[in-house]
Amino acid sequence: MFTAILLAAALQNAPAQAAPDPKAAFFAAAREGRADIVAALLDAGAPIDARDDRGYTALTLAAYNGKADLVGLLIARGADACAVDPRGNTALMGAAFKGDDAVARLLLDKAPCPVDQTNGQGQTALMMASLFGREAQVRLLVARGASPSARDASGNTALSLATRQGAAGVVAALGGR
């Protein structure tokens, strides 16, 4: 809470031409994983599923940046974990892209989203994990019911993406050779 007070004081003492922007503070705190500041701003009335200027929610930013504590707080406070960014990606897809096991587990354990939710290109979190060689993520997602046979808009499967990238561990995890 002390940090939130310091942030508010800093914003209040900013030059006159730079009016305090609580929305900017909310998203900066989300990117940095500052659960204390985000909680204080939520308590002060910040909308949990607000979007920044690029269309990202605080949960998406926290997931993409590997801020597991903040992801847990936002889910507990009711953030929409199934919300999509401008490209249709979810927080789970962000965690898969980054290879963050702690964030992915939290989202899989606590959020009611389908594990095979697709983005604007028909890609799933499993496809993203496969494309970027995230073997542990692939194993986790498959164990949680992700479909290795799902196809994106271009006809790719998680296995075909991993094979194309030369991700031998992922190929093996998906049952390929």
- CATH assignment of the domain containing 167: 1.25.40.20
Span 75-126, pLDDT tens digits:
999 999 999 999 999 999 999 999 999 999 999 999 889 999 999 999 999 9
* pLDDT-derived band at 23, boundaries 50, 70, 90: confident
Q: Residue 104, CB half-sphere, CA atoms under 13 Å: how many?
A: 25
Residues 163, 146 share a domain: yes
Residues 67, 15 share a domain: yes
Beta partners for residue 57, in sequence order = 51
Residues 41, 63 share a domain: yes
Q: Which of 86, 113, 140 is the last residue before a domain boundary?
A: 113
Residues 76, 61 share a domain: yes
Residues 135, 109 share a domain: no
Residues 109, 89 share a domain: yes
Residues 144, 74 share a domain: no
Residue 14 has pLDDT above 50, yes or no: no
Task: Say how far apart CA 157 and CA 136 lie, in whole Å.
Answer: 18
Q: What one-character-per-residue DSSP string does 21-69 give?
A: -HHHHHHHHHHHT-HHHHHHHHHTT--TT-B-TTS-BHHHHHHHTT-HH
Span 27-82, pLDDT tens digits:
999 999 999 999 999 999 999 999 999 999 999 999 999 999 999 999 999 999 99
Does residue 80 sit in helix, strand or coil? coil
Domain that holds residue 171: 118-177
Residues 105, 39 share a domain: yes
Looking up tokens 């897809």 gives 93
Beta partners for residue 51, in sequence order = 57
Residues 97, 17 share a domain: yes
Q: Are 107 and 75 in contact (CB under 8 A)?
A: yes
Q: What are phi and psi of 51, to 5 degrees?
A: -120, 145
Selection from 33, 23, 95 nearest residue 62 by Cα: 33
Residues 95, 30 share a domain: yes
Residues 75, 1 share a domain: yes
Q: Which of 97, 113, 129 is the last residue before a domain boundary?
A: 113
What's the total number of domains in the chain? 2
Residues 157, 109 share a domain: no
Q: Which of 79, 98, 113 is the last residue before a domain boundary?
A: 113
Q: Are 141 and 129 in contact (CB under 8 A)?
A: yes
Looking up tokens 């060689």 gives 133
Span 132-147, pLDDT tens digits:
999 999 999 999 999 9
Q: Are 38 and 74 in contact (CB under 8 A)?
A: yes
* pLDDT-derived band at 7, boundaries 50, 70, 90: low
Looking up tokens 């249709």 gives 88
Per-residue model confidence (pLDDT) at position 8:
52
